[in-house]
Amino acid sequence: MTKDVMIQMKSIQSIYDDKTETELITRGKFSRRNKSYHILYEDSEATGFSGSVTEISVTENKIASIIRTGSTNSDLIIEPGKKHHCHYETPYGSMDVGIYTHSIKNNLMDSGGDLYMKYTLDINSSYMSDNEIIMNIKKA
């Protein structure tokens, strides 16, 4: 069953000693299918992906995916201890992105909860950034 929720998200991007934090509070949808939780929301200017919709799916602490469709298209696989190569499309062109995941901490339950993901991105095998996503899901 899909529920209307409030999503509070903090994204932290570190490039060497330079750190940028972005916070977003938005309405979205939250559901559970089998062992996976699904979070769906429309992106805005705050995320830098206006005109796109993002769906985050997470299964226990084992694997997550971030699928973005619309003005930007991507399908990122986040799996602790592994590196995945993913395709990332933007209005300015497409690129291959490597994602090495350090950790997923999934404290989601049917009523909402918290999700934390930490990973390193590279583009064409060159270091891009270290990233953290901290989410809290609450009933709307």
49-69 mean pLDDT: 91
75 lies in some domain: yes
Residue 121 belongs to some domain of the structure? no
Prediction pTM value? 0.90
Distances (CA, A) of 64 to 7, 46, 128: 17, 23, 20
* Domain assignment of residue 124, yes or no: no
Tell whether 49 is covered by a domain: yes
What is the domain-level CATH number for residue 37? 2.40.128.20
| CA 117/CA 77 separation, integer angstroms | 11
| Residue 73 falls inside a structural domain | yes
Mean pLDDT for 63-89 is: 91
Q: How many domains does one find in the chain?
A: 1
Range of the domain at 70: 3-80+104-116+132-139
